[in-house]
Amino acid sequence: MMLLAAAPAAAAQTTILVVGDSLSAAYGLDPADGWVALLRERLAARGFDTEVVNASISGDTTRGGRARLPDALRAHEPDVVIIELGGNDGLRGLPLAETRRNLETMVGNARQAGARVLLVGVRLPSNYGAAFIERFQQVFHEVASGADVPLVPKLLAGVGEHPELMQADGIHPNARAQPRLLDNVWPELSPLLGAGAAGEGGPDGSG
């Protein structure tokens, strides 16, 4: 009797949930030009069966993200959650202790839902003063270290200091900057996606 080999099981689709503010919502741009859309394109080009859900809202704070994350987790059941919030907390001068608690709660909720978490930080404009900027950035490091999750310290690294890569408001990156934002996120995100992703950068391999 001839035995038929069982067909290999198809790999399950990976769902990435991005919970962010205007920097991830492609404020002032065609959404297709934003770094989250470029992430979707990069994953598809590399053969990943991945759904990328962009749940980012311009102007959102960690308070808003904390409130809406549970519903998003139930609706999308993500494997990976990217949390890119806090910039508006800093711009509005909200208490750093509250920002930290909100981020810690979001990380905890995502983990309880079975997701791997990536935390993404931002740097405030220089007019906020060196001391406050340092304390603000330290919040992201403390949350990431305490929860043992990877951190992108500065989403706008290599962008914010170049006016030609920013929109007229000086706060939001333009379309030319979006590939750099993705490359800033990729080295920390790729290890969360499994074999074949880690160590790969953009088309030129630069990361």
| List 60, 79, 89, 172, catalytic entry | 172
Q: Is 169 a catalytic residue?
A: yes
| List 22, 24, 56, 190, catalytic entry | 22
User: Can you count the helices (H) and strands (E) in the chain?
Assistant: 6, 5
Q: Is 22 a catalytic residue?
A: yes
Q: Is 71 exposed, middle or buried (0-12, 13-18, 19+ CB in 10 A)?
A: exposed
If phi > 0 it is left, if psi is from -120 to 50 it is alpha, else beta; for residue 83 that is beta
| List 30, 169, 204, 206, catalytic entry | 169
Local structure of 49: helix, strand or coil: coil
C-alpha to C-alpha distance for 48 and 146, rounded to whole angstroms: 31
Answer for the pair 100, 142: CB distance below 8 angstroms, yes or no: yes
> Which residues are marked as active site?
22, 169, 172
